[in-house]
């Protein structure tokens, strides 16, 4: 069984935060457990402080603040690096391999 990745999204309810939540939810796969934390909640503030979060939106994957959140704007590639959406990528790769395996052997080779 695949281990769940804990993904925490720290927000303040602004449109930038809403965009980050949508990005994370769009990237997340079945092995990702996504939790949205509102910085107006004292427990979210305490947790953010423990992670060293100084601005929002911010994304933490398995207890580690995503690199993009340390330096500015949230970036999809930087969120994928610690494993966000990993199961979805594995599924896509498997589907590609299966479609290649079923390809016509007399046809042109697949470059993927």
Write out pLDDT tens, residues 37-80: 999 999 999 999 999 999 999 999 999 999 888 777 788 888 88
Residue 86's Cβ-count burial label (10 Å; 0-12, 13-18, 19+) is middle
Mean per-residue pLDDT, 83-93: 61
What's the pLDDT band for 100 if we cut at 50, 70, 90?
Answer: low
Q: What are the structure tokens assigned to 80, written together?
A: 């994928």
- Integer-rounded Cα Rg, in Å, for the chain is 18
d(CA 89, CA 112): 14
Q: Has residue 5 got a pLDDT over 60?
A: yes
Mean per-residue pLDDT, 12-27: 93
Report whether 37 contacts 47 (CB < 8 A). yes
Q: Has residue 18 got a pLDDT over 70?
A: yes
The CATH superfamily holding the domain 5-101 is Glutaredoxin (3.40.30.10)
d(CA 17, CA 9): 9
Q: Residue 108 carries which DSSP code?
A: P
What's the pLDDT band for 10 if we cut at 50, 70, 90?
Answer: very high
Q: Where are the domains of the chain?
A: 5-101
- Residues composing the chain: 112
């Amino acid at each position: 069984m695949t281990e769940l990745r804990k993904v925490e999204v720290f927000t303040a309810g602004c449109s930038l935060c809403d965009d980050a939540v949508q990005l994370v939810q769009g990237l997340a796969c079945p092995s990702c457990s996504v939790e949205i934390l509102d910085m107006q909640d004292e427990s979210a503030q305490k947790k953010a402080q423990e992670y060293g979060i100084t601005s929002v939106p911010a994304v933490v994957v398995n207890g580690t603040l995503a690199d993009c959140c340390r330096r500015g704007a949230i970036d999809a590639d930087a969120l994928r690096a610690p494993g966000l959406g990993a199961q979805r990528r594995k599924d896509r790769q498997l589907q590609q391999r299966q479609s290649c395996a079923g390809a016509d052997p007399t046809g042109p080779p697949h470059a993927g």
